[in-house]
Amino acid sequence: MSNLPLLEARTSFSENVDSDVIAVFQDSAKKAITPKGPYGGLVDRLRKVEAFAAKHGTVQFIRFGGKAPADNVLLLGLGQGTELSEEKIRAAGGHAWAKLSVEKVKSLVIHVDSLSEVKGAHSSLTPLRCIRALAEGLILSSYQFTKYQAKSQSEGKSDGKPNDRLAILSSSSEDSLPLRIVFLTQDKGLKAQLDAQLAQVQAMGEAVWVTRDWSNQPSNYGTPVYFANEAKRLAKENGLKYKVLTELDAIREKMGLFIGVGQGAERESRFVIVEYTPKNSKNSKNLSKNLKTIALVGKGVTFDSGGISIKPSARMEDMKHDMTGAATVMGAMMLASKWEVQNRVIGIMAFTENMPDGDAIQPGNVLVSRNGKTVEIINTDAEGRLILADALDYAQDYKPDAVIDIATLTGAVSVALGKQCCAVLGNEESLIEALRRAGESNGEKIWQLPLFDEYFEDLKSDYADMKNSANDSNGGTIRGAIFLKQFIRKNTPWAHLDIAAMAYNVSHLSYFPKKGASGAYVRTLAQFIADF
């Protein structure tokens, strides 16, 4: 992966940089408005020859050969200020990054004062919010996953095992562009505010990158034990408590569904718990009355073959992403800690593989869940709901004020909603609405689907308390959620996010990678935790 760019605010800057970046708006006639500063004349000349109209998302990169304040300048079109939004600015940041990367720019200065002329349609769209959104767009766009692209495979010795070969695989630092982004303003008061905002954006970048790295990890390296160890390392770095349950521990906890899914895999499963408590509450015997507990539960199937109900071979390589729910939980936990939110958060990640060998569960088997309910297995590829059921039951032992599970649960969600949003289902409207608001503020769309109790009629079994799947494809996303609802205790607010469509290959958003993990909903969950 590339190096995370360093964001910093300055009131003066005299060092040589590869490129300046100037925001340019349109007037009511949809022509570029002349920005203040040394590049105003340049924009005027381009406008006269109709070479740059500052339409939203357009960029103009000009080389000066060292004869200007910077070697190059990138003019970033933002369109008309009255039509601007934070999401549009994030998208513009993504377009800017794409061009800067092609031009191999390694350092740049954002001239913040060029954003001061914004006249947004909403009073909340201040220059400060514009700058933050632009920083988010740039840093979210900068991610690359090149960990397994070898500089040289001739160095070192290896017996061919993946963990040995890992030592001679490395990322190419030449592609990590740019490395430094300076936000320059003459306003000292704005600079002080920028320092705080950019620190939050930097933390967001780190958390989203961890989620993307985990989700992109090939399953021969990204095993349940690997992620358990990585979670421990990240927990220590971020001041989180950490606990791991081995398969034997899970058996003692009577997690029959979680253990059942992984019993066909040679690699052992792991059940990981990380906990964040605000610093001012850690030494208190009784947590503040205003302090709420939120439990995040993530599906972590590190590879999903479908088990005995094996998947078609086409695109099966993408099933390494079936642990993105757990990866999203880890990212959200990191970000909540870095932002020092004032709520307690429990993050639960259930890691396992779903493989078809002689020990694998079979259609027709009956498993016993942690809460004692029995499940007839109809389809072994409906495994995510099984591990989540035991994980949700475990999470409720912490007596949370809200439980949210995050999972790449169903392909059906793609059929229902496409790749524009994730689905949310749950048992409390105020919780669902809070999640939707957090998503909207971060440009991550969430759409509610119904969860009528009548849907459970399709999952009634002749041999157990319920089936894990029905015999047709109707309402697949809703059926997955109604199954999970059977494991939610009375008076526990709960919401389920099915992120299967948004977990990877979200190519239509400029600040998400065109291929691989998106890291979507890390920001949403952290915002929700902060606001809850």
**Apex 161 CA angle, 155 and 163, nearest 5:** 80
How far is 466 from 292, CA to CA, in rounded Å? Answer: 33
Is residue 369 within 8 A of residue 256, CB to CB? The reply is yes
Is residue 385 within 8 A of residue 476, CB to CB? The reply is no
Catalytic option among 10, 311, 437, 445 = 311
Q: Is 385 a catalytic residue?
A: yes
How far is 43 from 139, CA to CA, in rounded Å? Answer: 26
3-state secondary structure of 404: strand
How many residues in total does the chain contain?
A: 532
Token look-up 């060092």 returns 15
Closest of 141, 140, 113 to residue 9, by C-alpha: 113
The per-residue b/e assignment along 262-273, b for 16 or more CB within 10 angstroms, e otherwise, is bbbbebbbbbbb
Catalytic option among 385, 419, 467, 523 = 385
3-state secondary structure of 90: helix
Give the dihedral sign, CA 340/488/520/132. Answer: negative
What's the token pair of residue 173? 């630092």
How far is 410 from 381, CA to CA, in rounded Å? Answer: 10
How far is 189 from 102, CA to CA, in rounded Å? Answer: 35
Closest of 258, 264, 237 to residue 370, by C-alpha: 258
**Apex 140 CA angle, 232 and 405, nearest 5:** 50
3-state secondary structure of 250: helix
What's the token pair of residue 525? 């969950």
3-state secondary structure of 425: strand
Cα-Cα end-to-end distance for the chain:
33
How far is 322 from 304, CA to CA, in rounded Å? Answer: 7
What's the token pair of residue 180? 């430094």
How far is 41 from 444, CA to CA, in rounded Å? Answer: 38
What's the token pair of residue 128? 């400060």
Sequence letter at residue 361: I
Within 120-236, strands assigned E span 180-184
How far is 415 from 212, CA to CA, in rounded Å? Answer: 24
Sequence letter at residue 214: W
Q: Is 233 a catalytic residue?
A: no
Strand partners, 496: 405, 425
What's the token pair of residue 367? 């498993």
Residue numbers annotated as active site:
311, 385
